[in-house]
């Protein structure tokens, strides 16, 4: 048997049933984003390679899909939605600030697919550009919280940290200049491999035992302690750390008023983020149940726009990972069952009555009912009902000569098999008031 062509590795087809789930999630996100005043934006999937390269860090650069186009230009598929946003902000200085935008679109990464990781996947980004106020950072977190709650998530924790604080922490521990990234990468694994694992890894990397000890002096989590308060004294003479602490304190202050409960976030010194461009607060959300990594990730990036325009414009934002969120929601059973969007199948009785059935479908659509006419070449009521049943279409409209003569339509409820003759003029209203709308 001939093997039909497959989708590329790590890239997937989304059949209707799955698209309905995705649209549900995207719909919730759009509503929430717009409720906070974020405006829609879209950018090309392909960018000049120069635009993308050197923004994410050495490792990540290798994961950019790059190729040469017909004109010999070096181009790449966008790696995230943040860099294209920075490019847009640099290119259109007239955009009024603060500029608040959201973007829901696919991005590409040339890495090996794995659980919860694809080569083509959708990100849902919200960002505020043009303000250094921690109000913007707090608002981003409030939006994330709101969006996840709207979807039905209950047990999730947004982890907060701050790059400036991490920088101060490294300095305090005596990490040599230029080695911070390597240290932080190990620290990031704390919840995965534990303190012993991180210590071992750092020692193997060649860091002095005193450095590792000093690092853990401050990382050590005390029961219910206020992390920021605890750090203020030891890091008193480090301006970076003080700034980072102050930023987080301000964010924390605003979150309450924005309706984000204290249980929904946690300051976590061991949370680092890989991408190079973050400069201040950083955030991510992890869920425990299906271990799938983070479902959101973001932070402040005050110098990214400046790389493009020569003039820094502060910005902060976050991504919600669509595929991971859909995967998690599916595992948690957070989706309403919905195989089809069709509300009613209009059946065809025979060639003579077909025009009347088409007219009925047209009437229903005009009234806002999602109505489908059976299009199969082989007719037969049996086949048409089986089709409705398989598709999960909740209602079937039957109109043969009897109904037409009486000016009625027989409406069959596919769930319990009951049916009832309804005057033609009332069919749409009846369907619209039906429980499964």
CA angle in degrees (0–180, nearest 5) for 240-246-251 = 125
Q: Which of residues 135-164 bind RNA (CB under 7 A)?
A: none
What does DSSP say about strands 66-68 and 46-48: parallel, antiparallel, or unpaired? unpaired
Q: Give the three-state DSSP class for 5.
A: coil
Determine if 290 is a binding residue for RNA (CB under 7 A).
no
Please identify which residue in 233, 288, 416, 435 interacts with RNA, judged by CB under 7 A: 416
Q: Is 284 in the site for RNA (CB under 7 A)?
A: yes
Q: How far apart are the C-alpha atoms of 285 and 221, rounded to whole Å?
A: 19
Tokens 């969006």 belong to: 147
Residue from the set 34, 50, 59, 237 that interacts with RNA by CB under 7 A: 59
Determine if 3 is a binding residue for RNA (CB under 7 A).
Answer: yes
Minimum CB separation from RNA for residue 60, in Å? 5
Does position 369 bind RNA by CB under 7 A? no
Interaction of residue 302 with RNA, rule CB under 7 A:
no
Side-chain-facing half-sphere of 372: CA atoms under 13 Å: 19
User: What is residue 160's three-state secondary structure?
Assistant: strand
- Per-residue x/- track, 194-233, RNA (CB under 7 A): ----------------------------------------
Angle at 91 between CA 140 and CA 46, to 5 degrees: 80
Using CB under 7 A, which of the segments 207-215, 240-248, 334-342, 408-416 binds RNA? Answer: 408-416
Among 336, 417, 433, 435, which residue sits at the site for RNA (rule: CB under 7 A)?
417
161 close to 247: Cβ distance less than 8 angstroms? no
CA distances from 101 to 86, 126, 405 (A): 11, 6, 57
378 near RNA, rule: CB under 7 A: yes
Tokens of residue 223, six digits: 């029961």
Q: Are 205 and 182 in contact (CB under 8 A)?
A: yes
Q: Binding to RNA by residue 180, rule CB under 7 A?
A: no
Position 399 contacts RNA (CB under 7 A): yes
Distance of CA 96 to the CA centre of its chain: 26
Distance of CA 312 to the CA centre of its chain: 27
Task: Fill in the DSSP letter of residue 114.
Answer: B
| 116, 174, 234, 290: residue in contact with RNA (rule CB under 7 A) | 116
* Contact status: 63 vs RNA (CB under 7 A): yes
Whether omega before 2 lies within 30 degrees of 0, making that bond cis, reads no
Nearest distance from residue 9's CB to RNA, in Å? 3
Number of residues that bind RNA (CB under 7 A): 65
Q: Which stretch binds RNA (CB under 7 A): 126-134, 158-166, 253-261, 316-324?
A: 316-324
According to DSSP, residue 223 is labeled: T
Which residues contact RNA by CB under 7 A?
Answer: 1, 3, 6, 8-10, 57, 59-60, 63, 80, 109, 111-119, 121, 123, 185, 188-189, 192, 273-275, 284, 291, 293-297, 319, 321, 323-324, 349, 378, 380-383, 385-386, 388-390, 398-403, 410, 412, 414-417, 419
């Amino acid at each position: 048997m001939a093997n039909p062509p497959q989708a590329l590795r790590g890239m997937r087809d989304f059949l209707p049933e799955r698209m309905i789930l995705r649209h549900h999630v995207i719909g919730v996100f759009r509503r929430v984003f717009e409720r906070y005043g974020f405006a829609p934006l879209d950018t090309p999937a392909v960018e000049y390679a120069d635009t993308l390269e050197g923004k994410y860090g050495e490792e990540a650069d290798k994961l950019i899909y790059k190729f040469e186009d017909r004109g010999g230009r070096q181009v790449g598929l966008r790696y995230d939605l943040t860099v294209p946003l920075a490019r847009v902000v640099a290119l259109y200085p007239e955009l009024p600030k603060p500029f608040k935008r959201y973007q829901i679109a696919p991005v590409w990464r040339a890495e090996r697919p794995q659980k919860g990781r694809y080569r083509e996947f959708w990100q849902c980004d919200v960002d505020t550009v043009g303000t250094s106020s921690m109000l913007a950072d707090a608002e981003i977190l409030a939006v994330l919280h709101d969006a996840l709650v709207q979807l039905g998530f209950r047990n999730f924790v947004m982890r907060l940290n701050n790059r400036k604080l991490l920088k101060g922490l490294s300095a305090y521990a005596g990490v040599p200049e230029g080695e911070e990234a390597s240290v932080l990468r190990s620290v990031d694994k704390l919840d995965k491999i534990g303190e012993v694992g991180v210590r071992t890894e750092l020692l193997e990397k060649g860091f002095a035992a005193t450095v590792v000890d000093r690092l853990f002096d401050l990382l050590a989590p005390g029961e219910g302690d206020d992390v920021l308060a605890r750090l203020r004294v030891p890091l008193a003479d480090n301006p970076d750390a003080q700034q980072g602490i102050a930023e987080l304190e301000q964010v924390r202050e605003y979150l309450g008023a924005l309706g984000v409960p204290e249980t929904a976030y946690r300051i976590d010194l061991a949370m680092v983020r890989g991408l190079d461009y973050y400069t201040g607060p950083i955030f991510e959300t992890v869920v425990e149940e299906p271990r799938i990594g983070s479902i959101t990730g973001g932070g402040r990036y005050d110098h990214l726009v400046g790389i493009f325009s020569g003039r820094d414009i502060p910005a902060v934002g976050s991504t919600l990972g669509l595929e991971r969120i859909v995967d998690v929601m599916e595992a948690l059973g957070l989706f309403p069952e919905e195989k089809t969007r069709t509300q009613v199948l209009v059946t065809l009785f025979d060639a003579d009555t077909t025009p009347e059935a088409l007219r009925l479908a047209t009437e229903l659509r005009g009234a806002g009912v999602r109505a489908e006419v059976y299009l199969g070449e082989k007719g037969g009521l049996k086949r048409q009902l089986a089709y409705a049943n398989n598709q999960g279409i909740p209602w079937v409209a039957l109109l043969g000569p009897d109904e037409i003569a009486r000016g009625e339509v027989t409406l069959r409820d596919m769930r319990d098999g009951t049916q009832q003759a309804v005057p033609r003029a009332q069919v749409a209203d009846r369907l619209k008031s039906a429980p499964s709308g």
